[in-house]
Structure 1
């Protein structure tokens, strides 16, 4: 493992972890202009750290967990922001948001129960969904009105992703990271049985 690259990648991820409470502080102090820039930077670092970790082959269990926690905190800060900036949007879409929250909490609960820690599968679908979540969240704060079509697309993809992750927790007996997805896990199990 190339130590300087390992530390650089984790430092980028750690920035996102530290940025989450700063994002909340900015929100509660009504500093929306700074908040939306910092949120965009946080989402950008999510794309950068994963790419660099794979490029320099410095993935680790610690890095995977740090990345997952940092992602969740960034999304949580963005969602809290939605409730403060545009509560009417949240009220209008409460059922769809509640479904996603219930699935997310279920997935976390299953992972903690089964593995003793949160999952860090980083499936293809999760990576794809994260891009669209970031686009929606950033645009939410930059545009005068939410992009509803994008919100519905992101919600559908997020629900699929969370259902896949719940299934993976139920299928995979030991904690693993960097799983391609449910299809590949089932295919691998079928080949092992053959």
Structure 2
């Protein structure tokens, strides 16, 4: 049986690989090494697909792991967006309003978190997980010329925008920094249940 401590280091090591690889990916994009970039990018997104299931499989979920995963996700997507601009500037120019809007929402969410918590969030909502999948699918489809690029782009934009709006609302709803939050609905339902329990207690 594998030691929980060893599992903890393995899972966080997988996430750390994604974070550490970001500058390397950026360098590949700047140097114009397209083939190297796309395969390394795919490998980076693959680590995002496995670190979550691994942490749940071996029961090593932690606040540090959540924060590390959130930072690694954000950095990977930002580097991927920069690479897209370097390799395909015409795509960025043709969709700059939408992309600028997403970065604006990301900026608002980040500033709101820093003001409220003095650090970035690690909510890991259901929407965030879906957004991560659609973002990875779009970038991989785009760089590997798989197809359905326009549809995946629209899906990634819409779901990412919804995720960022939800996280802004969560920052407003939650006075204290909290990791691994399912979403606004679940926070609202929990508060409603607590309020009903208190009301029932007062009536009895």
Q: What is the TM-score of this pair, normalised by structure 1?
A: 0.97
Matches within 5 A, 1:48-59: 48-59=50-61
Three-state SS of the structure 1 residue aligned to 2:61 is coil
What does residue 136 of structure 2 align with?
Answer: 134
Three-state SS of the structure 2 residue aligned to 1:30 is coil
Aligned residues: 194
Gap regions ≥5 residues in structure 1: none
Which one of the candidate residues 17, 40, 43 is aligned to 1:41?
Answer: 43
For the residues of structure 1 that align with 2:154 and 2:23, how far apart are their CA atoms?
Answer: 28
Q: Which runs of 4 or more aligned residues in structure 1 lie more than 6 Å from their structure 2 counterparts after TM superposition? A: none
Q: 1:94-113, CA deviations, whole angstroms, 9 ceiling, x for partnerless residues?
A: 11111110000110111111
Query: How big is the shift at 1:146?
Result: 7.6
Structure of larger gyration radius:
2
What does residue 30 of structure 1 align with?
Answer: 32
Three-state SS of the structure 2 residue aligned to 1:117 is coil
Matches within 5 A, 1:78-157: 78-143=80-145, 147-157=149-159
Distance 1:124 1:145, change over 3 A: closer
Three-state SS of the structure 1 residue aligned to 2:119 is coil
Distance 1:37 1:183, change over 3 A: same
Three-state SS of the structure 2 residue aligned to 1:174 is coil
What does residue 199 of structure 2 align with?
Answer: none
Note if contact 2:15-2:68 (Cα within 8 Å) is conserved in structure 1: yes
Q: 1:33-81, CA deviations, whole angstroms, 9 ceiling, x for partnerless residues?
A: 1110111011110011111111111111111111011111110110001
